Amino acid sequence: MRPGFVESFRILFRASRGFWLVNSVNFGDGIAYFGMLGLMTLFMQRNVGFSTDTATKSISLFSGLVTLTMALGGGWLSDRLGVRRALSLSMGVVLIGRVLLVQSPLLGGEALIHMGAWTALIIMSIGEGVLQPALYAGVKEYTDARTATLGYAFLYSIMNLGIVAGEALSPVIRQVWAARIEHLDVNEVPTAGISGSFWFFIGITAIVLLINIFFFTRKIELRDRVVVDEPVADDTHLNFFEKIRNLPIMDLRFLYFIFILLPVRTLFAHQFLTMPDYVTRAFPAEVGRYWEWVYAINPTVIVIGVPLIAALTQRRKVVDMMIAGTLVSALSCFILVPHTSVTLLVTYMIIWSLGEAMWSSRFLEYIADIAPSNRVGIYMGIAGIPWFLAKFVTGFYAGSMLDRFVPLHGPQDPGSLWLIYGISALVSPLGLIVARSWLIRAVHNQGVGEAAA
């Protein structure tokens, strides 16, 4: 039997040192990864010299490669190394990539600059592709049945707390860097000073890596780890086709569940592929210079909303939370249709974030619950394939859609842009509604009724 609302929080806050060390990496990478992600398309255009279309495609490929790495080996490597070592290795790789990215504009000719930037993106994607499943596995290893729901909610919430911290500081750092190093005024050039923010995020990455190396010791790992690895099933007697049929990706309900979320997941991609240019182009410069603060509305809502909603709805079925959350997220796009307004922009960010808070962490919990304890990373990787597709595909039309509906110069029609994206995102909740009974039966049959109820 699960503990009550208050008791759940009390137990979690008394969680092991291992749980909180996992979340220290989670917090630091939330600052650095999302802080850089929110500025990357602008950096690629202004500092590297890419066009809008090439910049959005490049960042789409980067974010897609993160998920693809999770699916094609990052999760497996995380499982093999163990959470502690996987976190150190991945953070070290990410640090190298981030330094190379910020240095790439100094490499000389255009070809070298572009090559350096793309190489940096590939290196960072590999590191993040190992880091993310290691964090998910860490929550499973350092929480028990009483705190699993809140554990995943806190993983998501603490990551977003890191985003809030990074986005709060980034405009200030950019302003100082622009004035002192680039000799520019962000009121006139709202995209100036990005390199300064990137160096700040690199410093955070280095600090988190050192904390994990020196404080997350083997002794703590052995003392605090809760789960016991499940023995790998003996399938040597099965032929090739029987082994294939036993793979999670052959479960039609599982595939439908993860792929029906693809349309609404494109809205996540638009937060870093479309929103930066939308805000800096469609709004006055005094709004664009504080783009990171607009971006920070989402993680601020998540920090507060995810643990509260998770605690209040932990007895609700996962599918029902998915329907409600994805519906709210999709409908939020229509707020931006009437006209360009700071009030509507802030309202959109709040409503969209509430929808995200309703379903995102429960999705992680569901996948982790159905996975054997020694294969969580692999399951998370497979579940991330639609997220890879959402990020990959979105980048190939986001730039051209921006240039068509919100060009840097000339007449703009951002309302039509968000109308199209809102209608597309509605496919996810409608698809979940149609298949609700079928999906709920799958949860019951897989033995995770308590986690999903």
Residue burial 416-425, b: 16+ Cβ < 10 Å; e: rest: ebbbebbeeb
- In the chain, domain spans: 5-225+248-452
Mean pLDDT value across residues 228-245: 55
Mean pLDDT value across residues 299-305: 84
CATH class given for the domain over 5-225+248-452: mainly alpha
Q: Which amino acid is at 167?
A: E
Please tell me the predicted confidence (pLDDT) of residue 389: 80
Per-range mean pLDDT, top range of 7-21, 113-127, 218-232, 284-298 = 113-127
Q: Which of 138-152, 168-182, 318-332 has the lowest mean pLDDT?
A: 138-152
Please tell me the predicted confidence (pLDDT) of residue 330: 95
Q: Which of 48, 129, 51 is nearest to 86 (CA)?
A: 129
Side-chain half-sphere of 35: how many Cα atoms within 13 Å?
A: 33
Q: Is the pLDDT of residue 449 over 50?
A: no
Q: Is the pLDDT of residue 450 over 50?
A: no
Q: Is the pLDDT of residue 45 over 80?
A: yes
Please tell me the predicted confidence (pLDDT) of residue 322: 85
Please tell me the predicted confidence (pLDDT) of residue 17: 76
Q: Which amino acid is at 126?
A: I
CA–CA dist 276, 280 (Å, integer): 6
DSSP state of 41: H
Q: Is the pLDDT of residue 232 over 50?
A: no
Please tell me the predicted confidence (pLDDT) of residue 218: 81
Place of tokens 């809760």: 226
Please tell me the predicted confidence (pLDDT) of residue 309: 84
**Residue 397, phi-psi category: left (phi > 0), alpha (psi -120 to 50), beta (remainder):** alpha
Q: Which amino acid is at 383?
A: A
Q: Is the pLDDT of residue 5 over 80?
A: no
Q: Is the pLDDT of residue 3 over 60?
A: no
**DSSP, residue by residue, 364-431:** HHHHHHHS-TT-HHHHHHHHTHHHHHHHHHHHHHHHHHHHHHS-SSS---HHHHHHHHHHHHTHHHHH
Tell me the pLDDT of the chain averaged across its residues.
Answer: 82
In 3-state terms the chain splits into helix, strand, coil percentages (rounded to 5) of 80, 0, 20
Cβ contact 45:59 at 8 Å: no
Tell me the per-residue pLDDT of 120-156, one tens digit each, with 9 for 90 and over.
999 999 999 899 888 878 877 777 666 666 677 778 7
Distances (CA, A) of 416 to 30, 333, 420, 427: 32, 11, 6, 18
CA–CA dist 368, 148 (Å, integer): 10
Its sign, for the CA torsion 48, 61, 334, 164, is: negative
Q: Is the pLDDT of residue 114 over 90?
A: yes
Return the percentage of the chain with pLDDT > 90, whole number. 38
Q: Which amino acid is at 40?
A: M
Q: Which of 179-183, 187-191, 328-332 has the lowest mean pLDDT?
A: 187-191
Neighbours of 259 (CB within 10 A): 16
Q: Which of 204, 196, 145, 206 is nearest to 171 (CA)?
A: 196
Mean pLDDT value across residues 339-360: 91
Q: Is the pLDDT of residue 92 over 90?
A: yes
Q: Which of 87, 64, 88, 86 is nearest to 77 (CA)?
A: 86
CA–CA dist 416, 313 (Å, integer): 35
The CA radius of gyration of the chain, in Å to the nearest whole number, is: 22
Place of tokens 């499973």: 140
| Helix boundaries (H) for 70-193 | 75-81, 83-103, 110-141, 148-180
Neighbours of 233 (CB within 10 A): 9
Q: How confident is the model at residue 82 (pLDDT cuts 50, 70, 90)?
A: confident
Q: Which amino acid is at 81?
A: L
Please tell me the predicted confidence (pLDDT) of residue 2: 52
Its sign, for the CA torsion 93, 94, 100, 101, is: positive
Tell me the per-residue pLDDT of 356-414, one tens digit each, with 9 for 90 and over.
888 876 776 666 666 666 566 566 667 777 777 887 788 889 889 999 999 988 899 99
Per-range mean pLDDT, top range of 87-101, 183-197, 245-259, 393-407 = 87-101
